[in-house]
Amino acid sequence: MFLSVFDMFKVGIGPSSSHTMGPMVAAARFLDMMRASPFEFHGVRVSLHGSLAFTGVGHATDRATILGLAGFVPDTYDADKAEAALAKIKETKTLNVDGLPPLRFDPASDLMFDYETPLTGHANGMMIRATDAQGDVTLREVFYSIGGGFVMTEAELAAGKDTDESGPPIPYPFKSAAQMLEMSTASGKNIAEMKRANEIARGCPTSLAEGTKRLWQVMDDCITRGLTTDGILPGGLQVKRRAKGIYDALMAERGMNLNAPHTINDWMSVYAMAVNEENAAGGQVVTAPTNGAAGVLPATLRYYLDHVPGASEAHIEDFLLTAAAIGGLVKFNASISGAEAGCQAEVGSAAAMAAAGLCAVMGGTPAQVENAAEIALEHHLGMTCDPVKGLVQVPCIERNGLGAIKAVSAASLALRGDGTHLVPLDACIETMRQTGLDMSEKYKETSLGGLAVNVPNC
């Protein structure tokens, strides 16, 4: 099983990897299908289903879909150009994209939120149709946004897991944590070393080093923007950005002798909240493994670099590779989608990844790393996804802060032991999968239960 570090960590835009990035990617893929088709097209229609319909407005799914049909993709997104494109499409009711004729598209009538017809493959479904001059459908595709910015067609989903088995063989193809530990023992390599060897088998050391460096740069820049920006977040809940105020207070207190030891928790939280406030505002983030959980891992890594004696930037790649290995196991054997398994699959997975990365760079053995990931995931089991008004704000922003604290605590506990423990990571991942299956749809990113219905939306 191979899932690249650059699949687990993608540069994109907020507020949601599954509801914003995924639909944008799906729309862009449909444009490619149209370009490859022999038919002549005159129009496009889209319907959003399941969670994409129920919380689509709060997650800017409609906006992202339109921009995807206009040729935008998350990795190279330009906010100013996007605003101009949206205004022009609204005015002209026409899409103008490279390689295709002008296409009729009226956002008011050609983009539909279908609350009544769930698609069977996944909770995040969308159907895109291209039409001819008479308005008849000549090309149709169903896409599923399965979390973390990953997108699959109906056929791809039916064919099985979305891992890349088409390239050269990899030296360490572990599909479970047990296999990972067995291969580590047999090879004498740690998890990051095995993951690095797998990445190089499909790429090269230079691109790996440059790519991971860019990932951390984007993460760190996002933290910095969040720590220096205040105001009210968009969406109507009037949620005030708090990261800047907390950060300013922490900086003012630095060096004082009367600080309580638990103040370090505020540092972890503020780094994570800074990221998720940026995400909520539609800023540039890195899926880690999703946008809704994008703050946990960067906060944990920033905590390591800024607050742990002896920390080194030379360990950043090992941190990311170790975290990606754990994230790949969770995604392959369960889910990283809140719409599929609740927030245990998002913040829980992120905490497991961050705990593993931190444990590794602090000298943990592979067994201790596996233990750290298990502790972090275990104590998120059953967590629901119930965003108020469908916005990735409440409880998501604070939840990332607490996820980072749990990640650091899990890594610390694991480092205090020798790696032996009762509950294997594989059992915890399977428990998370089963819990997600049993969880009511009300608590899986539909905003039909939990905080979403018990907190006023205005």
Which pLDDT score is estimated for 241? 98
Residue where the block lists tokens 């900086």: 251
Of the candidates 159, 192, 211, which is a domain's last residue? 159
Structure tokens at 151: 């997108």
> Model's pTM, two decimal places?
0.93
Percent of the chain with pLDDT over 70: 99
For residue 446, pLDDT over 70 is answered with yes
Instruction: Indicate whether 339 and 254 sit together in one domain.
Output: yes
Instruction: Indicate whether 263 and 401 sit together in one domain.
Output: yes
Number of structural domains, the chain? Answer: 2
Residue 93: which pLDDT band, with cuts at 50, 70 and 90? very high
Give the helix ranges, DSSP H, for 48-119.
51-54, 61-69, 79-92, 107-110
Instruction: Indicate whether 378 and 253 sit together in one domain.
Output: yes
Instruction: Indicate whether 293 and 146 sit together in one domain.
Output: no
Percent of the chain with pLDDT over 90: 95
Which pLDDT score is estimated for 316? 98
Instruction: Indicate whether 24 and 94 sit together in one domain.
Output: yes
| CATH (domain of 97) | 3.30.1330.90
Residues contacting 92, CB < 8 A, separation 6+? none
CA 266 to CA 303: how far, in whole Å? 11
Residues contacting 307, CB < 8 A, separation 6+? 264, 267
| CATH (domain of 296) | 1.10.4100
What number is the average pLDDT over the span 313-341? 97
Structure tokens at 39: 């038919």
Give the tens place of pLDDT for each residue, 381-426.
999 999 999 999 999 999 999 999 999 999 999 999 999 999 999 9
Q: Which residues pair with 240 in a beta bridge?
A: 232
For residue 163, pLDDT over 70 is answered with no
Residue 458: which pLDDT band, with cuts at 50, 70 and 90? low
What number is the average pLDDT over the span 347-362? 98
What number is the average pLDDT over the span 25-39? 98
Q: How many CB atoms lie within 10 A of CB 311?
A: 16
Residue 183 contacts residue 174 (beta carbons within 8 Å): yes
Instruction: Indicate whether 22 and 138 sit together in one domain.
Output: yes
What number is the average pLDDT over the span 274-300? 97
Domain range for 77: 17-159
Mean pLDDT (the chain) is 96
Which pLDDT score is estimated for 450? 97
Residue 324 contacts residue 211 (beta carbons within 8 Å): no
Q: Is residue 6 part of a domain?
A: no
Residue 456: which pLDDT band, with cuts at 50, 70 and 90? confident
Q: How many CB atoms lie within 10 A of CB 88?
A: 14
Residue 162: which pLDDT band, with cuts at 50, 70 and 90? low
For residue 109, pLDDT over 70 is answered with yes
For residue 161, pLDDT over 60 is answered with no
Residue 109 contacts residue 43 (beta carbons within 8 Å): no
